[in-house]
Structure 1
Amino acid sequence: MNNITINSNSNDIKEMEKLFPRAPLKIIAMEGCKELGQKVNDYIVNFRQSSYREELKSPMYATYLQDNYLVDAHCPRFGSGEAKGVLNESVRGKDLFIMTDVCNYSLTYSVNGYVNHMSPDDHYQDLKRLISAANGKEHRLNIIMPFLYESRQHKRTKRESLDCALALQELIDMGVDNIFTFDAHDPRVQNAIPLYGFDSFNPPYQFMKALLRAEPNLSVDPDHLMIISPDEGAMSRAVYFSNVIGVDMGMFYKRRDYSTVINGKNPIVAHEFLGSDIKGKSVIIIDDMISSGESMLDVAKQMKDRGAKQVFVCTTFGLFTDGFEKFDEFHEKGYIDRVITTNLTYLPPAFYEREYFTVADMSKFIALIIDSMNHDVSISSVLSPTDRLHALLERHRKDLAEKNL
């Protein structure tokens, strides 16, 4: 594994490691994200071993270089379905990071002999159980929750609950110092906890890196590529992405039937497109999540109907709540050329069987966030990956130029 950069400088990770950490680092990767947690741990081990120096022999650094920063923790359940959080080692005085994937529906438990799949509510309860098991003995408590629990219920439009704000306040009341998430549905939900740490990261660099690896001949310029926002809610992502890579942007807005509610939401009547001509161009449709995929598939079809050469879908969270059949159909018909999503939430084995699906690995990114926080280093450059995107595109354009010689 290679060293990761902070400010597009290969020496920055070594400079960071010269600083004394806030407290000894410990990570709890909850059952729903064991694989991701192990990758993050391996990167941090690599970071620190590759920056080894003589002063690390000091007793002050006795806990700094480890082969493993993961805590042995789990949440066993009783036959009634009730559970408890158990830590099998001490976290006293540690800078503790707890990683959880509230969307991992693959885990099951028994309730009076019946098999029950874990819901986001179950994962959230287990998170609170492990926080309770730590019992406030940690030096600092940080939560890494890539898919922010109840983030789609972030505002009140009538008499309804404000679940996301309540969850954030509850975590803070339990002693959490910082909450890290990715592509929050509406980052303004942090107003519920204005005096505490809340950071929402976006993965445009990882999207572009994964796309260029999968499509090495893709031309990234205004004549050949365009960024598409599938709705008004994704506008800020698309505007940033298009400005940084220097291409045009278009958007759709959803016309909904507000007189009807189906599966808890107003059905979409039509998608209306606003933007320049896309005929002959490749397009990247970028959004925070694919749930059922209905909206994204309709946008992709309309792009191809308008003459798009290739359609690439980039989404932070691939939930695929209605399965993959519709995506397979649209790929076979040529409406979708590639779907790129991160490994921040659970992806079933069937995902990896499809050649048009590509994973943007976020484990190195999370490892950098944790290591930076543990050293109390500014993470502003992580929040804005502009420099890394520019460097990536410069390398890609040089490679294309060499191929065309």
Structure 2
Amino acid sequence: MANNFVFKDSLPVAPLKIAALESCSELAGKVNDHIVQFRRNDIEELLRRKEDLHYRGYDVDSYLLDCKCPRFGTGEAKAMINESVRGTDIFVMADVTNYSIPYTVSGYTNHMSPDDHFQDLKRVIGACASTAHRVNVIMPFLYESRQHKRSKRESLDCAMALEELAAMGVENIITFDAHDPRVQNAIPLIGFDNFMPTYQFVKTLFAHDPSIHIGKEHLMVISPDEGAMSRAVYLANNLGVDMGMFYKRRDYSRIVNGRNPIVAHEFLGSSMDGKTVIIVDDMISSGESMLDTCKELKARGAKKAIVCCTFGLFTNGLEKFDEYHQKGYLDYVITTNLNYRAPELFDRPWYLEADMSKYMAAIINSLNHNRSISATLSPTEKIQKLVKRYQDGELK
């Protein structure tokens, strides 16, 4: 990994602490292990230079902060930090999509919603912001990111949430594949970094399927709608293949489940006959439009339909995906481990996971040293090297 090296000419901004909420404790544990390994690899060089390891903060076994958010019988909660955070560089991690965590309200069991997770995030910030050197927020799925613009008399929830974090003293907000990164315009004086998992998708794809041929005659990238165009263009250009786009014709006279129902998917692009087709998007929610796209691709002669989505939410369950896989419409789905996934998802033969923990660890390690992350934001060079290695047969 590009960031797995000694920061020879810089010290950390402050001692590092990762405040992981229960919603993403598993991912935070993996991130912590990578950072510990990064810094242990650095120790030999630092000892040779006779650096003070204690000052650097490289001599610890874990960077995880002892914190929790217990709840009262009414469902109200509070944040508790069980160790000193004075002068530390804190990274608060939260997965607002984790619906698996229950809590009790007057004897009834509720499951935590995105609103509950966001409140807990603010509680942890409130408990440590006054004494910490700096507070950073890592929210892989940006809270309320789908409510990013106003089309009529509607609330702008994402913008309001970002302004709340800025008002609490948060200095940097790190997210992944934001639905529309222009929401950062709400907080122009606060750091906002939006990272993409394109490299991890390509790496996972090549590792799983060595039969894929890279070239315009064999491979194509598809955007399932207008909103995912930039993602598809970036991946297609890096692979040197053609891209196409579906656009959704909706019935604007009706609203079903909070949105206008899709009437048909229309395609713009060249022939996909006999090609492996990669569909890229930011999330799978119900999966309805993604599955319709896969069916359309196979009807137009696509050899394989591969879905790459940053967040696999699967809000309507997995049965429809099972059905489409069995019928041959869908070959496999790649999502990241940035959000909670139901345990049964891992048993599906069509599911692959792109691990983002090392990438996130490198981001945290770089920010803690106040080092540039421009290369991390746009991993073009890494993708090109990976493609060359794959074509040379080094990954097979």
In the alignment, is residue 297 of structure 1 matched against residue 271 of structure 2? no
Secondary structure, aligned partner of 1:76: coil
CA distance in 2, matches of 1:397, 1:202: 23
Secondary structure, aligned partner of 1:69: coil
In the alignment, is residue 287 of structure 1 matched against residue 281 of structure 2? yes
Secondary structure, aligned partner of 1:266: coil
Secondary structure, aligned partner of 1:278: coil
Q: Which amino acid aligns with 1:46?
A: Q
- Give 1:34's match in structure 2, choosing from 25, 33, 40: 25
Following superposition, the deviation at residue 14 of structure 1 comes to 2.4
- Give 1:174's match in structure 2, choosing from 163, 168, 173: 168
In the alignment, is residue 348 of structure 1 matched against residue 342 of structure 2? yes
- Whether the 8 Å CA contact 1:17–1:48 is kept in 2: the answer is no
Following superposition, the deviation at residue 64 of structure 1 comes to 2.5
Query: Residues 56 and 210 from structure 1, CA distance in 2 versus in 1: closer, same or farther, beyond 3 angstroms?
Result: farther
Pairing 1:104-253 to 2, within 5 Å after superposition:
104-253=98-247
- Give 1:259's match in structure 2, choosing from 253, 262, 267: 253
CA distance in 2, matches of 1:200, 1:257: 33
Alignment-derived partner of residue 64 in structure 2: 70
CA distance in 2, matches of 1:57, 1:113: 56
CA distance in 1, matches of 2:20, 2:8: 23
Following superposition, the deviation at residue 397 of structure 1 comes to 0.5
What are the superposed Cα offsets for residues 238-278 of structure 1, whole Å, 9 maximum, x if unpaired? 00110111000000001111111111111111100000000
CA distance in 1, matches of 2:344, 2:235: 30
Following superposition, the deviation at residue 63 of structure 1 comes to 2.5
- Whether the 8 Å CA contact 1:103–1:119 is kept in 2: the answer is yes
Secondary structure, aligned partner of 1:16: coil
CA distance in 2, matches of 1:189, 1:256: 25
Quote the sequence identity (%).
62
- Whether the 8 Å CA contact 1:17–1:51 is kept in 2: the answer is no
Following superposition, the deviation at residue 15 of structure 1 comes to 3.9
- Give 1:44's match in structure 2, choosing from 35, 41, 54: 35
- Whether the 8 Å CA contact 1:17–1:375 is kept in 2: the answer is no
Q: Which amino acid aligns with 2:15?
A: P
CA distance in 2, matches of 1:85, 1:58: 34
Q: TM-score, normalised by structure 2?
A: 0.97
Which runs of 5 or more structure 1 residues have no equivalent in the other structure?
A: 7-12
CA distance in 2, matches of 1:51, 1:58: 12
Q: Which amino acid aligns with 1:23?
A: A
CA distance in 1, matches of 2:380, 2:326: 35
Q: Which amino acid aligns with 1:380?
A: S
CA distance in 1, matches of 2:128, 2:35: 22
- Whether the 8 Å CA contact 2:137–2:173 is kept in 1: the answer is yes
CA distance in 2, matches of 1:88, 1:360: 33
- Give 2:379's match in structure 1, choosing from 362, 376, 385: 385
- Whether the 8 Å CA contact 2:196–2:377 is kept in 1: the answer is yes
Alignment-derived partner of residue 355 in structure 2: 361
Q: Give runs of ≥4 in structure 1 deviating > 2 Å.
A: 13-18, 59-65
What are the superposed Cα offsets for residues 42-92 of structure 1, whole Å, 9 maximum, x if unpaired? 000000001112146526626232110000110000111000000001111
Query: Residues 320 and 95 from structure 1, CA distance in 2 versus in 1: closer, same or farther, beyond 3 angstroms?
Result: same
Q: Which amino acid aligns with 1:40?
A: V
CA distance in 1, matches of 2:129, 2:6: 34
Alignment-derived partner of residue 5 in structure 1: 2
What are the superposed Cα offsets for residues 343-376 of structure 1, whole Å, 9 maximum, x if unpaired? 0000111110112100000000100000000011
CA distance in 1, matches of 2:262, 2:72: 43
CA distance in 2, matches of 1:17, 1:112: 55
CA distance in 1, matches of 2:82, 2:50: 27
What is the RMSD of the two structures over their aligned residues, measured on CA atoms? 1.3
Alignment-derived partner of residue 19 in structure 1: 10
CA distance in 2, matches of 1:330, 1:168: 38
Secondary structure, aligned partner of 2:314: coil
Query: Residues 37 and 56 from structure 1, CA distance in 2 versus in 1: closer, same or farther, beyond 3 angstroms?
Result: farther
Secondary structure, aligned partner of 2:5: helix
Following superposition, the deviation at residue 217 of structure 1 comes to 1.7
CA distance in 1, matches of 2:160, 2:261: 27
CA distance in 2, matches of 1:79, 1:241: 49
Alignment-derived partner of residue 82 in structure 1: 76
Q: Which amino acid aligns with 1:44?
A: I
Which runs of 5 or more structure 2 residues have no equivalent in the other structure?
A: none
